[in-house]
Every structure is written in C-alpha cells, then in structure tokens.
Amino acid sequence: MSVKDGDGTTSQDGKAYELQIYPRLSLETASCCILRVTKEATAASVIRDAAETLGLDTRKLYVLAEVKECGGEEWVLESTDLPVHRVLLWPRKAQEQHSQKEGFYFLLQERNHDGSIRYVHLPTVGNEQESKRLVARGFLPPQQEDLEDLCNLPVLNEDSILDNLRIRFQKKKIYTYAGSILIAINPFKFLPIYNPKYVKMYENHQLGKLEPHIFAIADVTYYAMLRKHINQCIVISGESGSGKTQSTNFLIHCLTALSQKGYASGVERTILGAGPVLEAFGNAKTANNNNSSRFGKFIQVNYLESGVVRGAVVEKYLLEKSRLVSREKNERNYHVFYYLLVGASEEERREFRLLQPEEYFYLKQENFMIEDADDLRHDFERLQQAMEMVGFLPATKRQIFSVLSAILYLGNVTYSQKSSGREEGLDVGPPEVLSTLSDLLKVKEEPLVEALTKRKTVTVNDKLILPYSHSEAITARDSMAKSLYSALFDWIVLRINHALLNKKDMEESVSCLSIGVLDIFGFEDFETNSFEQFCINYANEQLQYYFNQHIFKLEQEEYQAEGITWHNIDYTDNVGCIHLISKKPTGLLYLLDEESNFPHATDKTLLAKFKQQHQQNHYFVPTPVMEPAFVILHFAGKVKYQIKDFREKNTDHMRPDIVALLRSSDRAYVRQLIGMDPGAMFRWGIIRASIRALAAFNEAGRRWAAKTAGVVRPNSRVPLGELQRSNVPIERMYRHAPMLDFSFDHSEERPLEAFEDIFASCESKKKNKNPKTRQLIPKNLLDTRSLKYVVGLHDRTTKSLLHLHKKKRPPSISAQFQTSLSKLLETLGKAEPFFIRCLRSNCLRRCK
C-alpha cells in the first residue's frame, strides 16, 4: 500500500493518491488493484472503482477493510469513511512501500446479504482446538504440554508457572488464564490474531472454551453486562513497557465491534483519532519504554440496554508535569515537542518562532541527538491528521502549537543579579526571548517581566511587591510552564470527550450500562524516585488492595457464608502500607501537606517528621542519617524515594500574579486555558450569544406571524411558558455553573457567531423533521448543554491547578490525586471487575 503520485513523490492535497487494494482475504496473494483517488474519496467510491477495475460481479456486496500490522488489526470501513485519511495515520515506511509484506494495506472482501463478512480461511484458533481434540482421541501425537489455565498445573509454584508461560510464549501464545484473570506477555511485535474474524469467533463463548485471548475477556465482560444489567470494568496492570496501552486499544476495538456487529462505530473511529493525540501530549521516552504513558486514563464505554454503544468518556489521572522541566538520564520530554520542531513546515516555523531542539533548555538537558528525524516528521503529520479526526480546526491547531512554542521559550528565560549594588532584584533576559514570549502569549512585555521577577503579597492593610531570589524565580518560571502545559492537556481531554459525546448522555431518563477500561501507570522503581513515583506506587497499592479484595477476601467470605469447605489462602495484605501513606492524621501524605503549608519548612524537616512518626512502622525503612531519602516496603518490593522537591511538587500551583498576567492576554485561547474555573472566562460571551439567539428567535416568530396572518405585530412578545420550552435556556443558564470559553471558528475576533449558529442548529433540529435538510451541530462546536455536561465530566476526577484562591490555599497535588483516586475506586467498586496482568517478555524490548 502506498500514497504516492505518478512520479514517485508524496502527493500534496488536491492531487491524486495511489491506493493498492488486495481483492481477497488471503495474505499470500500477490495480485492487487491500483487506484488513483483524491483525499476526500469515500470507501464506497473506492469499492465501486476497484470492483470495476477487477471485473467483479457488481451485483454482489463488498466491503473495504483496513489491515494493520500484517493482520494484527482489521477495521471494516463504513461507506462514508475516507481511506486516504486512514493511510495518513500509518507509519511512514508503510506509506512509502508498495509491498503487502509491510503489513498495512486494504482488503476488498465480499459481504453477505445479512451484513456479515465472508471470510476465506478457517481461524487459527479453531484449528488449534480441533488439533487438541485429535490428540485427545489418539489421532495425533501429543506435543509438549502447555496449559491454557495456570490453575490446572499439577504443581503450583513459581518455577512451574514460569515454565508454562515460557513454553506458551515460545509457541507465540502470549495469553494465558489464571482462573478468570488474563496474563498477557508483551511480544514487542504484532501478531495476526486481532482482526474481526477473532471477534466473531469469541462472541458469546464461555471463558476457557477457546484459546486464551484478550477478546475473550472483552466478550465475557460485554455479555455479563447485558445478562446481569451490572456495570463492568477491566483493570489492566503491569510495569512500564508491558503493553498496557496496546491492550487497552484491543479491548476498545473488540467492545465496540461486538456492539456494531463487525463495523467500526463512531466511538471507535473517534478513539482511533484520540489515541495518537493523547500519546503525543501525554507520552514520552523513558529508560524502560520508548512510548511510556506519563498519565493514567479510564475509558468508560456507555451502552444502551440493547447493547449498542452510545458514547464514551475519557478521564485522566496525574499527568507528570515535572517531566516538562527536568528528566533523568536517557529520557525525553513529551513527544509533541519533537514532532513540532522537526515536522513543522517553514511557514509554521516562522509563525511559531521555532528553533532547533538543541536550542531549548527544556529539551537539551538530556543531550540527545535527533537520529529519527524522518520518523518524527511522519509522526507530526499523523498527529495533525488525528487532531482533524477529533475535530480540531486549523485555527485551533495553530493556537495549540503557539502555546507549545511559548512553553519552550519560557525555559530559555534566564536570570542574573542586577549590576547595580543599591538595587535588589534580578535582571531577566535575553531580550529576544522575552519579546518572542510576549508575542506568542499576546501579553505586554513589561508585566511579563514583573511577573517573572517579583512576587506580590497581600497583607491586611497593604500590598507588598518583593523581588524573587534566583531559585524562587526559576521555580516561578518552571511553574508557569508546567501549569500552562497541564491546562492545555486538560483542555484536549475535554475536547476529546465532546467528540465522544452522545446527546443521550445528557438525558437522565435514558437507562444505560457501561464497561470501564483502566489503563493506569504501572509500578515504578527507577534509579532516582521522586514525588511522581511516590504517587504512582500509592495508586498501585490501592489497585492491588482492590485486586486482593475481589480475588481473595470476598470470595473466601462468600464460601464461608455458604458453608463450603474451604481452606483460607494466605496472601500478602497491603493494608498496612496503604495506612502508612494515607491514613489520617499521620499518614505520609497528610504530613506532606502539613509541611507544605509551613512557610519555613524544608525537605529536610519533612523527612525528619516522616522518621519521627514512622520509625517503628514495618513498612517504613529508615535510611542512614545523612541520606536525604526514605524507603517504603511496597507489595512489589522496596523502593527508595529521594525527598528532594517533595514539598515543591506538592504545591505546584501557578501564582496569582502570573494567572492575572495570562488572563490579560489578547489571545482568547490563552485566556480559556487560564480560566479561574471551567467556564468563568466566557460566561458573559455565552450570555450575549443567548440574548442574540433570543432576539433572533423573537424575530423569526414575528416573521412567521406576519406570513401566516398577514399582520405585522412589532411589539409581540413571547409568553414566558413558550420561552421556557424553547431551545434558548436563559433561565437555566443563569442558575447553573458557568460555561468554558470556546471559540472554534477561524477568527478569534468573532467567537459569538459560532454560538449563534449553535442555537440556530438546535432549533432547526427540533422543528425540521426532514433528514435531508436537517441542520446538525458540527463536532467542532459546543452548545451550552453539551458543554455543561462535558465540563461536569471533566470535573469529576480533576480540578484545574490554576484556581485563584483568595481566602484559602488551593488543594495540594497529593490531595487532588487522592480525591480522583477515591472517585475512581468508587466507580470500580460499583462494577463487576475483570483483571488483565501485563508482563514484559524481556528487559531489552526486543521481539523474540
């Protein structure tokens, strides 16, 4: 498969793209059909042209399927899907090569009249089951035994478990059961076991009837939800690099395919675009993983009681902001910075004032060399394509890239002591960096310099302006960069949730069920562990406790209640470790919050308080007196944490004067990101749009009255009851929480026109019953109702760190994380769980 024009060079928009279509399911066929199509060509038109070119029977029905990773994934395109848009998300090499061996191509397959797809070959899993039956009957010689379920091992110990997993892995069987738990070993390569024929094969089968597979877990979860009318959840755990994120993608693919009977749903297509966006902004290279997720996410797929997908929600947890300004050796910053700097066009480089990666302080700390420039350019193209799929307009993308550039320039701000001995304070520079930063953020340079060098303190009777020390100025600069990036990431998640929103999500009367998939950071133990690893490992302790409760404690209590003879299983109870970290009032997190509120406290005094309170605790291991560290005995082993910067990272909030500076920006998008709460900045814009919409509604009513009665009544009024029944919810808008500022049209200067179009669209949708002329709300716009709903979802698990609190301190990072983790566990506690444990096959990330 390739996308090239006639002379072999990559085609530009408006030119023809070359597609290679393989007309059968068989991977061995060498024949293909080459078509030249435009970027906007639909799957229906490609199928029609391919059938004519190949001389196929046009009376039959065909579908076009996108195959990825040599059959590792297979997506059936709907008639309105755009194949070329899919190709632009493929790896660069797959776009350039014509060979089917590259693993990315399109298949033309015949479809039955009932809508099912006619597959050519028998599934591999079915053959394996038949082979087992023949072995059992003596028709085939027995092979080296490998058990699908570890519970069936005659001897259960560590050696027998590892031997069985090793034997299965060598046979390319990466999945094994341990009862209802699925163990998944990351092979660091794709296997051809994930296309729709496997979804169909595992559909509505009891767990264990077929070869272990991640689709079996998805299937039993889906049908358990429908049969029991109970929400389900799938908890994926494992260390970094064990394949948790890819397992999540496979689960979402299967869960939506089950609902749509083999066709990719709108939710799945949106998540397909959302995945590269979230990875670009939330993933980075670490010592153990080239594409490590530096945030946790919970994807909740919502279903009607009939089993049809109706929407989804993405919730994120604990973005690692400190990575933005500092990292360990052999690690990188977030992917998106390298994509932008290497992949941007010359025009974009001028617009965003981009430099080379090594010229930015926030990027050159790791002393890396750009050796994968071609891949980074392709990844930037893939990111832009994915952003379009989620609904980002070109103007919105430019605003995002401008903020990213400003964040990088913040790292290049330097400080030095004033040359004049009489004047205290710092000189800030270089001048060209400040000028560029002022232009990118659209703020005045003088207040920018003041915010970066001075602190405003309000007392009872006066307002004091004090100069920063050198270390305080560096901290304020980095805090501004981290808070901007965190707000940008929150905003992107908010937009993705809107793209996944179904209008029925806002109707409380609609009964629904859900399946949640949790992909959260694995247990971490690096050479240097800090506050981030402390929070991550605490989350893993809580999930391990949740696992223990469901697998051991609750099961044993149920057996005892029913009088079943049962010998209690001894398991490692980690309640003591959880209490050490989070039990009031002396848990480590509460002691951390106390010390964070003391102005004269230091990391040294914090460590002393830890040791004083917990020196007798079994789970707290003291270190030598002079070492600024402490050790916790976790369920997965001992981890040493360096106390340095614990307090600073726990109170990582943007100062009010910096918030005020950014809220004075002439760029609406920057003001949106620095809103005092989700919606404060655009409250009046919404109200003005509502008033305009109401005026347009009244004018439309007068025109209708004049048309039907022939009498013009200029002073006619809409009765209050009619107003309340209209689609302009003025009264409710005043009563409910304010809305977030979104201006998604191409001009920042005229944001209200977009909202006027929204109100017009709402009224048109209600009154116009003709589907051909019905006006729909574009995905790139938010109406007030959906905006309230999405912001409400956004606030369930995360609160902006940019809140400007006048009377009390904002909540600490650890307090916010505990709150979001508690809400997650509450959601999981109301659902029936399944567990997937991911393992790395080797430490070098090599495919074997």
Respond yes or no: is residue 648 known to be catalytic: no
User: Please, what is the end-to-end C-alpha distance for the chain in angstroms?
Assistant: 27
By the 10 Å C-beta count (0-12 exposed, 13-18 middle, 19+ buried), 47 is classed as buried
d(CA 604, CA 616): 20
Q: What single string gives the DSSP state of each residue in 646-707?
A: HHHHHT----HHHHHHHHT-S-HHHHHHT-SSTTGGGHHHHHHHHHHHHHHHHHHHHHHHHH
Q: Is 343 a catalytic residue?
A: no
The residue among 754, 760, 763 whose CA lies nearest residue 782 is 754
Residues in the chain: 848
Active-site residue 160, yes or no? no
Is 412 designated active site?
no
240 carries a ligand binding annotation: yes
Q: Residue 494: what residue type? A: L
Amino acid identity, residue 729?
Answer: P
Burial of residue 114 (CB within 10 Å: 0-12, 13-18, 19+) is exposed
Give the whole-angstrom CA distance, residue 253 versus residue 250.
5
Q: Which one of the listed residues 293, 436, 438, 540 is annotated catalytic?
A: 293
Residue 786 annotated as binding site: no
Instruction: Return d(Cα 38, Cα 211) in angstroms, integer.
Output: 43
Q: Catalytic: which of 164, 237, 245, 453?
A: 245
Annotated ligand binding at 238? The verdict is yes
Query: 3-class SS at 355?
Result: coil
Determine whether 797 is an active site residue.
no
Q: Which of 796, 815, 770, 740 is nearest to 587 (CA)?
A: 815
Q: Per the residue annotation, which of 240, 286, 412, 537 is the catalytic one?
A: 240
CA distances to 392, 536, 728 from 300, rounded to whole Å, are: 22, 21, 30
Q: 241 a known binding residue?
A: yes
Three-state SS string across 524-582, please? Answer: CCCCCCCHHHHHHHHHHHHHHHHHHHHHHHHHHHHHHHCCCCCCCCCCCCCHHHHHHHH
Spatial distance between the Cα atoms of 184 and 215, rounded to a whole number of angstroms? 12
- Among 66, 524, 532, 541, which one carries the catalytic annotation? 524
Is the CA virtual torsion 279, 280, 286, 291 positive or negative?
Answer: positive
Q: What residue type is 333 in one-letter code?
A: N
Long-range contacts of 783-788 (CB under 8 A, 24+ apart): 783/758, 783/759, 784/686, 784/690, 784/729, 784/733, 784/739, 784/755, 784/758, 785/506, 785/729, 786/498, 786/501, 786/503, 786/506, 787/498, 787/679, 787/739, 787/740, 787/742, 788/736, 788/737, 788/739
Q: Given 292, 537, 798, 814, which residue is catalytic?
A: 292
How would DSSP label each residue in 385-439? HHHHHHT--HHHHHHHHHHHHHHHHHHT-EEEE-S-SSS-SEEEE-HHHHHHHHH
Burial zone of 704 (CB within 10 Å; 0-12 exposed, 13-18 middle, 19+ buried): exposed
Q: How far apart are CA 102 and CA 552, in angstroms?
A: 46
Please tell me the distance from the alpha carbon of residue 551 to that of residue 248, in angstroms, as a whole number: 22
Q: Is 78 annotated as a binding residue?
A: no
Residue 289 annotated among the catalytic residues of the structure? yes
The neighbouring-strand residues paired with 632 are 620, 639
Picking from 557, 538, 537, the residue whose alpha carbon sits closest to that of residue 549 is 557
Pairing of strands 61-68, 105-111: antiparallel
Cα angle 335, 341, 345 (rounded to 5 degrees) comes to: 125
Residue 495's nearest CA partner among 184, 821, 741, 151 is 741
- Characterise 625 by phi-psi region: left (phi > 0), alpha (psi -120 to 50), beta (else): alpha
Q: Active site includes 176?
A: no
How distant is the alpha carbon of residue 446 from its chain centre?
Answer: 37
Phi, psi of 152 (to 5 degrees): -90, 0
Three-state DSSP at 447 gives helix
Q: Does 346 belong to an annotated binding site?
A: no
Catalytic residue status for 245: yes
CB 96 within 8 A of CB 102: no
- Per the annotation, binding residues for ATP are 238-245
**Residues making up the binding site:** 238-245
Could you list the active site residues?
Answer: 240-241, 245, 289, 292-293, 522, 524
